[in-house]
Amino acid sequence: MDSGARYDARVGIDHLALGLLWYVVLLFSLTFHEAAHAWMAQRGGDLTAYHAGQVSLDPRPHIQREPFGTIFMPLLSFAFFGYMFGWASTPYDPSWAQQHPKRAASMAAAGPAANLLLVLLAGVAIRVGLLSEVFLPQVESFSSIVSSVTPGFWTTVATLLSITFVLNLLLFVFNLIPVPPLDGSGAIGLFLSEENAGKLQQIMPQPQFSLLGLLAAWFLIRSIFGPVFGVALSMLYMGIG
């Protein structure tokens, strides 16, 4: 085998390893997001997701409910774009949401809040690595917003933390876009009266709004995420030479 073939094989193995890291982070992030929805619904009196086994960090119930969003879409997005994106969903009782619109709004907000928590945890770990000079600030891609000073184990850790930070920031921002069927539309009810939150619950589930909302969100995220990502990196690197 010549050097070119060995290089191609090495690149292929590295790409597969990167894809595996992306998938592990994505699956955990989606599971954590949906488990937060399910847990908040359980606390509010809706046991639909609890009985479906989704108040859990076990990814299997979430995969069974949304195999396309948790398996096929991540693989397709990584193949075409070099990063992974996907989705899952949590069942709930619409009549419960109508009777308790504020609780339903809390359930909607719990998912993005879970992603924000993962962003903060990854950010703290990255800051510790930067301040201890284990990592260096070096943005090469969504898979690498910090690099390791030494190769090997810490390179994998830097990649894992980079993916966790960027992916969960993307999930947080995307899901907070206030259009149905995204969580941001349901979370608006937290800032409304009980009566108006109930009216919102009647409007948002309409299928035509969901389709238009997804199309709008797809175009909006392109212009929204870049500035948010820039601010997040500035905060992450603050005070680092």
Q: Would the pLDDT of 175 be above 70? A: yes
| Mean pLDDT, residues 87-109 | 93
Q: CA 108 → CA 54, 101, 103, 184, 194, distances in Å? A: 15, 10, 9, 7, 15
Nearest to 101 by CA among 174, 205, 217: 205
Q: pLDDT at residue 156 above 50?
A: yes
CA-to-CA separations, 1 to 8, 9, 12, in angstroms, rounded? 11, 10, 15
Question: How buried is 210 (Cβ within 10 angstroms: 0-12 exposed, 13-18 middle, 19+ buried)?
Answer: middle
Average pLDDT over residues 55-69: 95
* Residue 21 pLDDT greater than 60, yes or no: yes
pLDDT confidence of residue 127: 96
Query: What pLDDT score does 83 carry?
Result: 79
Mean pLDDT in residue range 79-88: 86
For the chain, domain boundaries: 3-236
C-alpha span between 107 and 97 (Å, rounded): 10
Q: How far apart are CA 29 and CA 113, in angstroms?
A: 11
pTM metric for this prediction? 0.90
**Does the pLDDT value for residue 241 go beyond 80?**
no
List, for residues 193-230, the tens digit of each pLDDT value.
888 877 777 777 666 667 777 788 888 898 999 999 99
pLDDT band at 12; cut points 50, 70, 90: low
Of 4-13, 53-62, 228-237, the range with the lowest mean pLDDT is: 4-13
